[in-house]
Amino acid sequence: MQVAASLLAMPSTDMHFRLSIWRPASLNRTYIYPSPSASNPNSFSPLEESDALEQIYFWNAGSHDFLGAAPPEVSERIRSILLHPFSFERAPSERTVNRFYDAVSLLIGDSSIDSSDYWVDSQESISVHLEDDLNLRANITRALLLHLQWIARTFRHVPKASVLIR
């Protein structure tokens, strides 16, 4: 999917879509961090293993606007279901891979998102005859959702894994 996304002839925007999967870290030693309080500004506390996360997957889709071909109401629906619930402001327990899988499945099943109107020209073409080239078209919104479904299925069984979308 990432290759397909890089081939799309979409206008460049400032939107960067980055997705990462995190799981609880396995700490091999005790780590301490500064935890100043009003009574003791120089205090330190041990880092609990449940507070440490490690990144196990990262996908940077770049600056392509995956939602640019879709109408504004469809783009907003996808943003409200994917971006806001899986943002950094939410706790990892609220951003589980199972919730992500459910959100992606909901979007894939939405008939307003899977429309033939959202196909755009790509930079990829193939030769049909000696002199004719056929431009390949892509439904980038659908391609994004299928790739996200693959990610969710791949990491769905990782214990306590969480999703972060920026």
Tell me the C-alpha to C-alpha distance, in Å, between residue 107 and each of 1, 63, 96, 111. 18, 22, 17, 8
Burial of 128 (0-12, 13-18, 19+ CB in 10 A): exposed
How far is the C-alpha of 105 from the C-alpha of 83, rounded, in Å? 15
Residue 4 has a pLDDT of: 35
Q: For residue range 55-89, what is the model confidence (pLDDT) as tens digits?
A: 999 998 876 666 666 778 888 888 899 889 999 99
Burial of 138 (0-12, 13-18, 19+ CB in 10 A): buried
CB 18 within 8 A of CB 58: yes
Q: Answer with the residue of higher pLDDT: 35 or 93.
A: 93
